[in-house]
Amino acid sequence: MSVDDDGHGGAGRRARPPFDSPAELVAALDEQDYLADEEMATACYLALALGRPLFLEGMAGVGKTAVAGALARSLEAPLIRLQCFEGIDAHQALYDWDFPRQLLHLRAAEAAGRHEAPDVLEHELYGRRFLVPRPLLQSLETSPCVLLIDEIDRSDDEFEALLLELLSDFAVSIPELGTVRAETPPVVVVTSNRTREVHDALKRRCLYHWVENPSYEREVAIILRRLPQVHERLAERVAFATRRLRARDLLKPPGVAEALDWAESLAALGADDLSPALASTTLGSVLKYKEDIEQVRATGLAALLDGAGLEEVGLEGVGGG
Amino acid sequence: MAELRGPAEVVVGIARRLRRRGLSASPDRVHLWVRALDALDPLSTDDVARAGRLTMCATREEQALFDEVLAAYLAEQRLDPGAQLLTVPSELVVVELGELDDGAGGEVDDEELAVPTASRIERLAATDLAELPSLDAELLALLLRAFSGSGRTRRGARRRPARRGRADPAATLRRVLAAGGELTEVARADRRPKPRRLVLLLDLSGSMAAYEEGLLSFAYAAGRQRRPTTEVFTIGTRLTRVTDHLVGADVGRAVAAASAAAVDRGGGTRLGELVKAFSDRFGQRGLARGAVVAVFSDGWERGDPALLGEQMARLQRLAHRVVWANPRKAQPGYEPLAAGMAAALPHVDEFVEGHSVAALVELAGVLLGATDRTSARRPLRA
């Protein structure tokens, strides 16, 4: 089955650029402004080498979705994203028929006075041009590509069963058309925020990786890379304070995304350092619960920024002062 | 075992240990591990670890368990972390994998379990938890089985296709279009049943210390079977959410993690304040709404009993059903004399024992609605 012509078709196309080691993949992701640690790089590398889906689990905002984008760019392959939600079904994920256009086609044939055998017309009706491919089918037709199945924990069990079938065969059979099989199986990244436990059968098809928050040094580097307008000193202070916040018993500990938001807000205010007063006014961009903000305000923002008690965040000799 | 320390031996050795710790290290996973290792550097223990974490685990807790098993294995083999392994001919991998299929291989588990007999389990299940040194696997299995039912449901907001129910205009229109403009059958959709949330509030204060392991195991079993809809909190002098600690294949680890997180355990009890804290922070926001809430406590209240009564009344208004389990209730001649207990009782739908595994199994039935003793909500007096 042919794919919409995007100019780089052809049989000689190589499925994936050769990454010979996780280290090479780190460099490639780095070029795409994604600073991967060795664990993440090994996970991605093995997903490519073994052709297995990669199942990424972790707190919201640690960069699970971002890695799929970076992977796609470094493979120079399109990213196809399927956002899961409660009640998602095959019509929204796999394919659907364009009924209005089919009807229109019938009417047009009628009006033109065509009198072929009925099965000719029927064959036309269930042809490729009336098929609406949804992300999962698109990913089989576009190869190579990166398929991102985002927040699978939001979908239902029935949908997991559907995915199970797709992820083992990389083929979809459409009764009217036949089977669509991927030339090269897409690189699949599945993410979950773990609001519910995804079924073991699905996880068993995948390589499992729990995404941790980055180390202090890496977080500073991420802030500086993603937000060039942020002063280095500010990035260090934000990363430090965010790490401190994570060590507290908060309802929603801030992820990397929140640290980036915070740094961006501060930079927009023209700050190049983090003072308690500034932290207080911008706390809403890093903490998203009233209770959390109250708790942090109650213990004092100065305590968040100073260097005392560094051992509790595992940061002796960094930042502060 | 041979003197070999090649990757194959390490993989098979660790897989065997993982299985002993309750992880399903199935042959296909082990095979994937070997393949992953082949793509990396098979002689580096670091890469053995990385590949194993990616292939053998399905949750974060299992990864922690894996790290533990790996570290123990390396120590046992006198290998330093990061050490290089020896080259082994690849046929060995095949041989070892074949051997793996027939179970535990030649090695016999050092801790042979006593043969469980029905009467022994029955006796243990009826024993007061305070007198049991620890819960063994069969008792835990009883708890897990107790939570395997479908549980109470409520009608959800979302509809799904159904035989009966309200007509679904969008789906009907789709059918009309698909049938070329003819109305063949009206599509219907009905509200899908949603499982009710189960909230467990465990009092781990000093007077309840003897029941700590039992209660946490009970909570673990509930979470294991009904994970997305179960929430567990400990109360005592502080409210701690331990839901996320009570996960993973290894119950011992989960219980220890939850126990460590509940820093207030063994202290005094301010039940009223803590039930209020729960309702303020979580309950009123939605966690307790329409949920089945179970409080495990002996009702010894250090604070004001009136506040506890007030807060239990509030909790009862929020929740679908409030159950109070008091291990002391099983003692002969028990009267709810503790001031807190007396204050709470009028605002509780069910008052049960929960002192032994058998009682906990029965309680699980009450929570799931299998043995619904009070059909209409009425004040309960002991």
DSSP per-residue letters across B304-360: -HHHHHHHHHHHHHHSSEEEEE-GGGGSTT----SHHHHHHGGG-SEEE---BHHHH
pLDDT at B118 over 70: no
Q: Do B93 and B45 form a contact (C-beta atoms < 8 A)?
A: no
Residue in chain B nearest A195 by alpha carbon? B228
Phi, psi of B379 (to 5 degrees): -60, 145
CA distance B206 to B144: 27
pLDDT over 80 at A309, yes or no: no
Residues in A whose CB is inside 8 Å of some CB of B read 22, 38-39, 42-43, 45-46, 49-50, 52, 57, 86-87, 97, 99-100, 103, 106, 195-197, 200, 203-204, 207-210, 251, 291
Instruction: Give the span between the Cα atoms of B61 and B53, in whole angstroms.
Output: 11
pLDDT of residue A235: 93
Residues sharing a CB contact under 8 Å with residue B325, sequence separation 6 or more, in sequence order: B294, B295, B296, B297, B352, B353, B354, B363
Confidence of residue A152 (pLDDT cuts 50, 70, 90): very high
Instruction: Enumerate residues 6+ apart whose C-beta is below 8 A from A308.
Output: A320
Taking CB atoms and an 8 Å limit, are B29 and A291 in contact across chains?
no
Rounded mean pLDDT, A100-113: 86
Q: Which residues of A touch B58 (CB under 8 A)?
A: 200, 203-204, 208
- Rounded distance, CA B279 to CA B293, Å? 11
Distance from CA of A9 to the nearest CA of B (A): 29
Q: What is the pLDDT of residues B91-107, one digit of tens each?
A: 444 444 444 444 444 44
What residue in A sits closest to B31 (Cα-Cα)?
A: A50
Note if the bond before A254 is cis, omega within 30 degrees. Answer: no
3-state DSSP percent of chain B in helix, strand and coil, to 5: 50, 15, 35
Give exposure, A31-53, as e/b (b: 16+ Cβ within 10 Å).
Answer: ebebbbeebbbbbbbbbbbbebb
In terms of DSSP H, where are the helices of B195-304? 212-225, 251-261, 271-278
Cβ–Cβ below 8 Å for A46 and B40: yes
- Phi and psi for A205 in degrees, rounded to 5? -75, -15
pLDDT at A174 over 80: yes
The pair of structure tokens assigned to B172 is 């009907």
**Which CATH number describes the domain made up of A2-94+134-210?**
3.40.50.300
Q: Is B30 exposed, middle or buried (0-12, 13-18, 19+ CB in 10 A)?
A: buried
Task: For residue A9, name the pLDDT band (cuts at 50, 70, 90).
Answer: very low
Residues of B in contact with A200 (CB under 8 A): 24, 58
The helix, strand and coil proportions of chain A, stated in percent and rounded to the nearest 5, come to 50, 10, 40
Distance CA A46, CA A48 (A): 5
- The answer to whether B281 touches B311, Cβ cutoff 8 Å, is no
Two tokens, residue A267? 């930079």
pLDDT digits (tens, 9 = 90+) for A239-270: 999 998 988 878 788 999 999 999 999 999 99
Residue A10 pLDDT more than 70? no
- pLDDT over 90 at A313, yes or no: no
Q: Which residues contact B218 (CB under 8 A, 6 or more apart)?
A: B143, B200, B354, B360, B363, B364
Residue B280 per-residue DSSP state: I
Task: Tell me the domain boundaries of chain A.
Answer: 2-94+134-210, 216-300
SS (H, E, C) A2-69: CCCCCCCCCCCCCCCCCCCCHHHHHHHHHHCCCCCCHHHHHHHHHHHHHCCCEEEEECCCCCHHHHHH
Identify the pLDDT of residue A72.
Answer: 93
Q: What is the per-residue pLDDT for B115?
A: 47
Asked if A195 lies within 8 A of B58 by C-beta distance, the reply is no
Tokens for B7? 């990757």
Q: Are A135 and A166 in contact (CB under 8 A)?
A: no
pTM of the model: 0.67
Q: Is the CB of B158 less than 8 angstroms away from the CB of A86?
A: yes
Residue B163 main-chain phi, psi, to 5 deg: -65, -50
Q: What single letter denotes the amino acid at residue A199?
A: H
Q: Which residues of A touch B180 (CB under 8 A)?
A: 103, 106
Inter-chain CB proximity B60 and A196 less than 8 Å: no
Q: Of B163, B167, B192, B198, whose CA–CA distance to B323 is shortest?
A: B198
Given pLDDT bands bounded at 50, 70 and 90, which one contains residue B87?
low
Q: Answer yes or no: is pLDDT of B199 > 90.
A: yes
Between B292 and B370, residue with greater pLDDT: B292
Q: What is the mean pLDDT of chain B?
A: 80
